[in-house]
Amino acid sequence: MKIQNTSAELNMDRLGRHFSAQLTMATPSLSHDISERLRVARQRALAERKPVMQLSFAKKTGIQSNGTLTASGDEGLNLWSILASVLPLLVLVVGLTAIQWIQQDSRTNELAAIDSALLTDELPPDAYADAGFVQFLKQGIGDRAKND
């Protein structure tokens, strides 16, 4: 896979090759002492040169013939990326568990309220199951609304 350079990098490489060619042409006319000092200076400059920071992703990507961008299969999984992947799932499970618990508690409170209303009422629980009693309640509510 060949890495494609940007135009700025290509211009810098071209300029470097031009200067290198000019220095190489001028080197034979220099004395031995000066050429040795230049050689040592070049070695010192190369030793102190800062390494170029490049993205590892940029090295591993490429453009296929159909125009799609591809990358290598290495996703760089480490402890932090695994935790970052698992954390949303853990939050989701905790959230769903909390919702289930709250709904169950709400249902329990509703059933307790209904049971306490039935037990403290003067009517027997069988009256609520009778179809005629339900009709009586509906009429009674309608009559009360007329009287008010």
User: Which residues lie closer than 8 Å to 48 by C-beta, 6 or more apart?
Assistant: none
Q: Are 59 and 3 in contact (CB under 8 A)?
A: yes
The share of the chain scoring above pLDDT 70, in percent, equals 72
Q: How far is CA 108 from CA 46, 97, 101, 129, in A?
A: 77, 16, 11, 22
Low-confidence winner among 4-13, 116-125, 135-144 (lowest mean pLDDT): 135-144
Q: How far apart (Å, rounded) are the C-alpha atoms in residues 95 and 102? A: 11
pLDDT at 30: 80
Output the pLDDT for position 90. Answer: 95
- 3-class secondary-structure state, position 75: coil
Banded model confidence at residue 114, pLDDT cuts 50, 70, 90: confident
Task: Indicate whether 1 pLDDT > 50.
Answer: no
Q: In this structure, are residues 75 and 85 in contact, taking their beta carbons and an 8 Å threshold?
A: no
Given this model, what pLDDT does residue 147 score? 58
Q: What is the pLDDT of residues 16-50, one digit of tens each?
A: 888 878 877 877 788 888 888 888 888 888 787 76
Top mean pLDDT of 31-35, 62-66, 126-130 is at 31-35
Tokens of residue 53, six digits: 């920071």
Nearest to 100 by CA among 90, 108, 111, 112: 108
